[in-house]
Structure 1
């Protein structure tokens, strides 16, 4: 299962000052996110279209890591 990390937010060029209140509004723990990331399905469940660019970043990061791991 894909997890979104702070790296993905930065890659999507999201402003962290705006993301932290967004996390609070949705009842997500910011520190837990920083430590562990957050599952893409949890983000999608918010219904907020703004999560999709971040999810795409996470999926791309994971795909690239798999390619490196496969020796491609």
Structure 2
């Protein structure tokens, strides 16, 4: 009986899942570094900053974070 209840519950919940809207599929993901450089650059402008980065520290345009700063 318990297994039947769980099965019906799972089937019911699977029908409740929402569809992704078309506009949500094409949103561009921005990294924190992208947002820093585009909107919040005044926070670090004319200041000394230290970065600990690796080869994957890229912006969305493919430029390395160190080169962008």
Q: Give the alignment's TM-score, normalised by structure 1.
A: 0.22
Greater helix percent: which structure? 1
Larger Rg: 2
Q: Give the alignment's TM-score, normalised by structure 2.
A: 0.23
Structure with higher RCO (Cα < 8 A, 6+ apart): 1
